[in-house]
Amino acid sequence: MLRKIIFFVFAVFYLLVSVSSANAQNFSKKIYFFYGIGCPHCGEVEAFFEKEDLYNKYPVDKREIYFDRGNALLFSGLLDKLGVPVEQRGVPMVIMGERVLVGDRPIIENFVDEAERYLQEGGDLDEVVSQDGDSEPEGLDLTLAAVVAGSMVDAINPCAFAVLVILMSSLLASGKANKALSSGIAFSASIFISYFLMGLGFYKALEMGGISSLFYKIIGWMAVVLGIFNLKDFFWYGRGFLMEVPLSWRPRLKSLISSITSPGGAFTIGFLVSLFLLPCTSGPYIVILGMLAKRALDTEAIFYLLLYNFIFVSPMVLISFAIYKGFDPAKAEEIRKRRIRILHLIAGIIMTVMGIVILMGWI
């Protein structure tokens, strides 16, 4: 069973990394045309491109930057690499290799000659940009895969499983199946809301502060370190420190969860419990949040945060229904203790691979 789990995890991530790496290195030579909706000078260039059928004749990559944050970040990243002063940045702008044309007349009068010269020469701006990984090459977008993988690490985290076992015992002690189910759902909903709001706040703080290339690499190394720590808990469980809730916190945590007597109480205590879980489960969450702040737009980030936390609390919801159907929490505790090292192994593999993917600029 253990070998099957290890093989499956490695196979999935090997496939993702292989395809991602191939795409990351398969840069096509392109000509960036940056414009803004409502910009009259941009409209002049667009009309010229359409009249001369330049979109079909040349590899023009058209990007709107007023309302598309991803394109705006790409725009700034390319110009940073080229050393273009901030006061000289504006739209319409065409970037081909290391050549920059700004304004409607310079673009209209020089585009064809410059494009022909650029396409006949070797080298591409994407190749220069990709060396630091600041810009965003066209290729496979692994954001969704990373969010799902990170949330699965949190969902199988031994900290969360320990909470589930205590929760199940407490709910069964209430004596009423319907009440136990309602309390379990309320508890899960509270954890979901708490983690979502904390994640949203951290995402906005990172977004407003800006994500530099250095910080993004730190996020990648953080994922690698967390992965190594979890692998340590697989090979040498109990030695040094554990990637779990500190032992000194557990009596208080158990007391809080055991005090749940109603759905309302479960909902309230869920917020407090989330603070106990945060130091143990925040690693993958911070890695994903750092990635989203650099790669995703606000609407996309909110969707990913909702998806992440839905996956994170899904075991709690499933366990609540299992209790309702008569599942014995003693069996769950037995399974948790027997498989805890395997959980650390899976988390370690996923986090290490995620870190490598980020550091290599594949995401």
pLDDT in tens, 150-181: 888 777 766 666 676 676 676 666 566 777 78
Top pLDDT among 34 and 274 is at 34
256-265 CB contacts, 8 Å cutoff, 24+ apart: 257/163, 257/166, 257/167, 257/170, 258/166, 258/169, 258/170, 258/173, 259/170, 260/167, 260/170, 260/171, 260/183, 260/187, 261/174, 262/179, 262/183, 263/179, 263/182, 263/183, 263/185, 263/186, 264/186, 265/183
Hey, is 41 helix, strand or coil? helix
Of 3.30.70.1400, 3.20.20.70, 3.90.1170.40, 3.40.30.10, the CATH number of 28-130 is 3.40.30.10
Top pLDDT among 349 and 255 is at 349
Q: What band does 47 get if pLDDT is binned at 50, 70 and 90?
A: very high
Nearest Cα to 304, choosing from 162, 170, 142?
142
Top pLDDT among 310 and 152 is at 310
Q: pTM for the full model?
A: 0.58
Top pLDDT among 153 and 231 is at 231
Nearest Cα to 94, choosing from 141, 138, 48?
48
Residue 224 has a pLDDT of 86
Residue 146 has a pLDDT of 80
Residue 77 has a pLDDT of 86
Q: Of 23-32, 155-164, 214-223, 257-266, which range is least confident? A: 23-32
Share of the chain above pLDDT 90, in %: 15
User: For the segment 63-76, what is each residue's pLDDT rounded down to a tens digit?
Assistant: 999 887 778 888 98
Amino acid at 185: I
Measured CA to CA in angstroms, residue 5 lies from 1, 205, 304, 342 at distances of: 6, 37, 26, 9
Count the helix, strand and coil residues of the chain and give each as a percent rounded to the nearest 5.
Answer: 75, 5, 20
Nearest Cα to 281, choosing from 187, 112, 180, 156?
156
Q: What is the CA radius of gyration of the chain?
A: 25
Q: What band does 49 get if pLDDT is binned at 50, 70 and 90?
A: very high
Q: In what order do the strands lie in the sheet with 60-64?
A: 60-64, 31-35, 93-96, 99-102
Output the 3-class SS for 63-81: EECCCCHHHHHHHHHHHHH
Residue 348 has a pLDDT of 82
Chain centroid offset of residue 292 CA:
5
Residue 10 has a pLDDT of 47
Strands 31-35 and 99-102: unpaired
Select, from the ranges 1-15, 179-193, 259-273, 316-330, the one with the highest average predicted confidence (pLDDT).
Answer: 179-193
Residue 331 has a pLDDT of 74
Hey, is 328 helix, strand or coil? coil
CA distance 357 to 225: 14
Nearest Cα to 311, choosing from 350, 276, 361?
350
CA distance 161 to 179: 21
Q: Where are the domains of the chain?
A: 28-130, 143-359
